[in-house]
Amino acid sequence: MKISDYELYRMPWDLVDFKDEVVTIINYGKYAFMVTNGLPTFLAGEGEQLMYMNGTDRRFYIYMGGAWNWVRWGGGGTGLSTDTWWIHDANSDTYVTTEGTSGSGNEDVIRFSVGDSQGGVAGEKVTVDSTGLSVISDLRIGLEGRGGNTFWKYNSGTEYIEAWVNNIKRLEM
């Protein structure tokens, strides 16, 4: 949708300025997000957005489902290729990160870390890099539609790969 460039004669300058701002936003997609250096704690309308910048910490916030949700990137400042990106859940114990998570800069690794409400060990569970997919020992690799009781896993105690069907070990290699 585009708005034609109308000339408004004998109108207050405030109205002409408002018309120009609306034309710019709609025609050119220019919308300035609120930028803050304090974390958003206020209640907002669904879909409200803002940018947070504090030192090298940069985040894009959007208010959805009655809570602020955000995506974060690091502070290289000149481009995305040098930044650390992560996506996380509400309490930040489950997340995905890329680049520089081990302090080595351009490592080209995607890391999946998971919090654990079941009493297990939280932390990095899966990594993906140019050599392949790595999964930590004793993590179940489930088969879709089997209710969580059919899975593969590497048993660090026996150093075997195991196949389980209906919670019964069927194969050990």
Q: Look-up: residue for tokens 């993906």? A: 128
What digits encode the pLDDT tens for the residues 81-129? 334 566 777 777 788 877 654 555 667 888 888 876 555 566 788 888 8
What digits encode the pLDDT tens for the residues 131-154? 888 888 888 888 776 667 888 888
Contact (CB, 8 A) for 92 and 76: no
Residue 1 has pLDDT above 60, yes or no: no
What is the signed CA dihedral for 135, 138, 143, 149, rounded to 10 degrees?
-160
